[in-house]
Amino acid sequence: MKFCIAGCGRVGADLAKQLSENPQNEVTIIDKNPLAFNRIKFSKKQYPNLTVKIGDMVDPTFLKSLDLSEDTYFITLMSGDNRNIFASLVAKKTFHVQNIFCRILDPQRCKIYNDHYGINCFSPTSLSIQECSSLIQKYNPNIRFNTAASSIAGEHKPEEPHKEFYIIGGGGEIGLQLAKRLISDQKETLILEKDPERIKYLKNHQLPESYCALADACEVSTLEYYGVYNADHFIAATGEDEDNLVMCQVIRSLNSKCAIYARVNNIDNIALFENENFTIINPTQNLIKKITTDLHVNIKIPGSVDILIANEASNRALCSFTVPANSIFAGKSADEFLRNSPVNLHIVSISSSKKGIVYDISQQNTNVDLHTMTLKKDYTITFLLDKLDLERFVFFISPSHSEKIPATNNHNSNTEHIVAVAADIDVRETDTNGYNDTIRIIKQG
């Protein structure tokens, strides 16, 4: 049998060792913290059929590498309920795994995912309460406990709302700006944010105390307390897809009439949110849809150049150029690349698939010197240029022309203009999990 265990805590480590004692079992245990595997302390000779893997179980790319099959026994024992739920849903929906066992500490969430999503969930909290109750009654049979199930979907009837009520899960910048807009439109609004420091930030940014609460929007009892049955709209706006998915699914089980909006940060996770009757909001996808790609030039763009943003109202386009292995620019400095360019380029960022963002004009305290930064193959340069200069730039980077480029060109001998563009635009990196995604939100000055 094939077993996949997510989370190498005490339970996961001991379970993996016990399962591996049977030579017919093939066991893989995964944790994102390499030190967690110290709990196993095994040798290949002792457990030849036990494999350890370092990886993040909420990363879709990593999950695809696990080669899960329908007959795999998939067990999630990570420390966070939402991470366990998210990984279980990926295994069920994407890989059609039939045997899923998910640990959920919150008994109410545990019941929701057992009843509504067909996942075999168990709650150590409920088991502990039952064990404690039994032990107490063993010593004093006269003590009685209320064993009735906690309130979940369908047990409460919503009261008539006095006016349209919006709940926002997550007090990040998106949640804050959305709340301000709704409040200005005189909508009843409440942000639920579980980070105390973020709550202080919200209050310091002119958000009245009555419009935000220190609470976890994934908790059933919390949602009930703050009037989920009266909510007309719920917006999951955090930067974590697993939290947003669980919030929306719990809300749907509690209030079937509520309009639900789910922020999805990673495009690869959109499939998990589909067919859930949610309105999906993906910053990158929505940005791309709104972009006009009419560049007013008729040229063929090579594979190494991507047009990220070409707003019809602007004369400039945001592009990215990935340095190929055979490029004459590989091994040269970023400053030399700029000086040789026949057109004006305003660099926004330079990123690497291995190192992430290595240069970013939005970071005011950057210590990167473009004179000494060496461009390597697969480095991606994201930059602004005039649309009408695009054809000349494409010709400039083409391999057939690169060999003819002179050693120096004083067209851009001064690199001060690179930073000067920061005064014209607002550059903010979108919330993404991968380093390769260099799409940015650009507001023309």
Domains 2-126 and 290-444 share a fold: no
Cβ atoms 392, 340 nearer than 8 A: no
- The residues, ordered by sequence, that sit 6+ positions from 133 with a Cβ below 8 Å of its Cβ are 145, 147
Tokens at 208, concatenated = 């009245």
Cβ atoms 342, 394 nearer than 8 A: no
Cβ atoms 135, 202 nearer than 8 A: no
CATH superfamily of 290-444: Regulator of K+ conductance, C-terminal domain (3.30.70.1450)
Sequence spans of domains, the chain: 2-126, 165-281, 290-444
Cβ atoms 238, 266 nearer than 8 A: no
Compute CA distances 145 → 131, 148, 149, 151, 216, whole Å. 12, 9, 12, 16, 27
Alpha-carbon distance of 151 to 158, in angstroms, equals 14
| pLDDT at residue 411 in the model | 37
Q: Tell me the CATH number of domain 2-126, given options 3.40.50.720, 3.30.70.100, 3.30.565.10, 3.40.50.300.
A: 3.40.50.720
pLDDT tens sequence for the chain (445 residues): 999 999 999 999 999 989 998 989 999 999 999 888 888 876 667 778 899 999 999 887 888 888 888 999 999 999 889 999 999 999 998 889 999 999 999 999 999 999 888 899 999 988 888 888 888 878 777 776 665 544 454 455 555 545 789 999 999 888 888 888 888 888 899 999 999 999 988 888 778 888 999 999 999 999 999 999 999 999 999 988 999 999 999 999 999 899 999 988 887 888 888 878 898 887 656 544 443 344 444 445 555 667 766 666 667 778 888 888 777 888 888 888 888 888 888 887 888 776 666 776 655 444 567 777 888 888 888 888 887 887 788 778 776 554 444 433 333 333 232 222 222 323 333 333 332 232 333 333 2
- For the domain spanning 165-281, the CATH number is 3.40.50.720
